[in-house]
Amino acid sequence: MTSFKLPVLASLLLSIFSIAFAAEKGSIGINYGRIANDLPAPTKVVELLKSQGITNVKLFDTDAAVLTALADSNISVVVCLPNELLSSVANDQSFADKWVQANISHYHPKTKIEAIAVGNEVFADKNNTTDFLVPAIKNIYTSLNKYNLDSSIKLSTPIALSALQNSYPPSAGSFKPDLVQPVIKPLLDFLQQTRSYLMVNAYPFFAYAANSDQISLDYALFKQNAGNVDSGNGLRYMSLFEAQLDAVSAAMSAIGTKDMKMVVTETGWPSNGDENEIGAGKENAAAYNGNLVRRVLTGGGTPLKPQDPLNVYLFALFNENQKPGPTSERNYGLFYPDEKKVYDIPLAAAELSNDQATAANESKAQVKPSGNTWCVANEKAGEEKLQAALDYACGEGGADCRPITDGSTCFNPNTLEAHASYAFNSYYQKKARGTGTCNFGGAAYVVAQPPSYGTCEFPTGY
Ligand SMILES: *[C@@H]1O[C@H](CO)[C@@H](O)[C@H](O)[C@H]1NC(C)=O
Ligand SMILES: *[C@@H]1O[C@H](CO)[C@@H](O)[C@H](O)[C@H]1NC(C)=O
Ligand SMILES: *[C@@H]1O[C@H](CO)[C@@H](O)[C@H](O)[C@H]1NC(C)=O
Ligand SMILES: *[C@@H]1O[C@H](CO)[C@@H](O)[C@H](O)[C@H]1NC(C)=O
């Protein structure tokens, strides 16, 4: 019998390790906006969602017909309490109670309401509803509690990226100072107390369109690119989207809120725009949304939080013909009102066809999902510095430099940068990726995906 113990223990340990190291997969949901006069009936829309394998949807209100159509669909729903109601809810607990009774408990759990977005981009609301936000959330919480729903339904509020004072580099992310004490800090405290998460609306499109001379389109669209190294934390960003999220994380850390989960409640790219809306177009929209879906469904998080899966709601299900503003505003949809696709991208894991799954696995290798990190040479450090650091790493440093000697597996490409990267990474891994072990006086930096130098494999996690 004792002979059994070892294999059992070993396989138990193995499965614990594979759980610990497996990248948790993220989720893709979709915003079902309805500022249009030509959309299909809600019952037809629910059929469309099901046919696409979409399991998470976000609404901008609590429309009765929509919530009824979603009943028994097993689709998780985020509803929104509109900004116009914030002042009434904040000033009147009985108003909040009635709203929860009529708009939430009336439908839940037949309609699987998982969260309420209290307001939407409130700090950017021209009607100045910011002061009502936290009191409104607290009153809704009290109401949920009365209906015994506080443990099954989360409360949060989507913030726009314009809440940030600074977002570049991501490690320097900070909130607008005038928002911090009055609203952001109390909001984050509340989210932490209730084990909720921050909702973030992030549009790399806006940043790109406004700075297309400085931001690479490939970087904005999750395509192959050299990435951007954050001079503050040494991490290399392969997409603007991830840089934006980490800027929000940094802004939270800067005011003392660590480990707050985030859900991206809106992101998207318009398939059409006005002449001055640089980057708008079908091809770019398909690239952004398609690559984002693949990125999310293959697992892993941002460079700063590689273990946290990405949970993202695309904007939006349909083109909405009655939205005001520039042409782009009416062209964020993945579907036309007649339910034809504006462009073809996978929306659910089951839809990632064999080809696409292969592509996803390849991009998974580039955008490392497992939370591992590597150390590579900073070419900008200059030849002299790199050579000195390489000599140190392979000498006193104790890095394993045999693979980069002539005739060995990692000799090619035979460049100083490739060899230095190999040596720096070996050193960094041997030092258990400790703080400061990937620096070499600025000659190296940490990356969140395996370095790519020919066929050379870079070890991780000694
Ligand atoms: C409902 O959805 C959950 C989560 O997406 C899933 O685990 C479960 O199997 C689904 N149930 C049914 C009956 O489809
Ligand atoms: C939501 O609640 C408000 C306030 O009680 C009520 O006036 C409104 O009719 C409700 N909406 C729906 C769709 O039930
Ligand atoms: C501001 O509030 C007024 C009155 O409630 C409303 O008619 C208007 O649509 C609101 N404007 C915005 C931008 O929300
Ligand atoms: C919004 O409210 C703040 C604080 O209550 C006030 O300082 C500001 O002038 C108001 N802005 C508008 C446009 O009403």
Is the pLDDT higher at 118 or at 392? 118
The CA-atom distances, in angstroms, between 117 and each of 13, 155, 315 are 41, 6, 15
What separation, in Å, do the N-terminal and C-terminal C-alpha atoms of the chain show? 34
pLDDT band at 110; cut points 50, 70, 90: very high
- pLDDT tens-digit readout, 240-264: 999 999 999 999 999 999 999 999 9
| Reported pTM | 0.77
pLDDT of residue 352: 67
301 pLDDT above the threshold of 70: yes
pLDDT band at 7; cut points 50, 70, 90: very low
CA angle 225, 247, 244 (to 5 degrees): 45
pLDDT of residue 359: 54
384 is catalytic: no
Burial classification of residue 87, based on how many CB atoms lie within 10 Å of its CB (0-12 exposed, 13-18 middle, 19 or more buried): middle
Distance CA 418, CA 416 (A): 6
Is any ligand 2 atom within 6 A of the Cβ of residue 103? yes
Mean pLDDT of 319-332: 98
Closest ligand 3 atom number to CA of residue 84: 5
pLDDT of residue 451: 86
- Residue of 344, 337, 313, 312 whose CA lies nearest to 323: 337
Q: Please, are residues 438 and 430 in contact by the beta-carbon 8 Å criterion? A: no
Is any ligand 3 atom within 6 A of the Cβ of residue 127? yes
Distance CA 438, CA 424 (A): 7
- Ligand nearest the Cα of residue 84 is 3
Is any ligand 3 atom within 6 A of the Cβ of residue 283? no
Q: Cα(348) to centroid of ligand 3, in Å?
A: 37
Residue nearest to atom 13 of ligand 3 (CA): 126
Ligand 3 pocket test target in 85, 127, 129 with most atoms within 8 Å of CB: 127
Catalogue all structural domains in the chain, each as residue range(s) with its CATH number: 1-24+372-462 (no CATH), 32-364 (3.20.20.80)
- pLDDT tens-digit readout, 66-109: 999 999 999 999 999 999 999 999 999 999 999 999 999 999 99
pLDDT of residue 356: 53
Q: How many Cα atoms sit within 13 Å of 387 on the Cβ side?
A: 4
329 is catalytic: no
pLDDT of residue 18: 38
pLDDT of residue 353: 57
Q: Please, are residues 300 and 371 in contact by the beta-carbon 8 Å criterion? A: yes
Mean pLDDT of 411-439: 88
Q: Three-state SS for 390?
A: helix
- Which H or E run contains 56? strand 56-58
DSSP 8-class letter at 216: -
pLDDT of residue 13: 43
Ligand 1 pocket test target in 74, 75, 113 with most atoms within 8 Å of CB: 74
Is the pLDDT higher at 135 or at 397? 135
Cα radius of gyration (the chain): 24
Ligand 2 pocket test target in 66, 103, 105 with most atoms within 8 Å of CB: 103
pLDDT of residue 80: 98
The active-site residue out of 121, 242, 277, 320 is 121
Residue nearest to atom 3 of ligand 3 (CA): 127
- pLDDT tens-digit readout, 174-213: 999 999 999 999 999 999 999 999 999 999 999 999 999 9
Q: What is the largest CA-CA distance in the chain?
A: 78
Mean pLDDT of 395-421: 91
pLDDT of residue 322: 98
Residue 200 backbone class (left: φ over 0; alpha: ψ -120 to 50; beta: rest):
beta
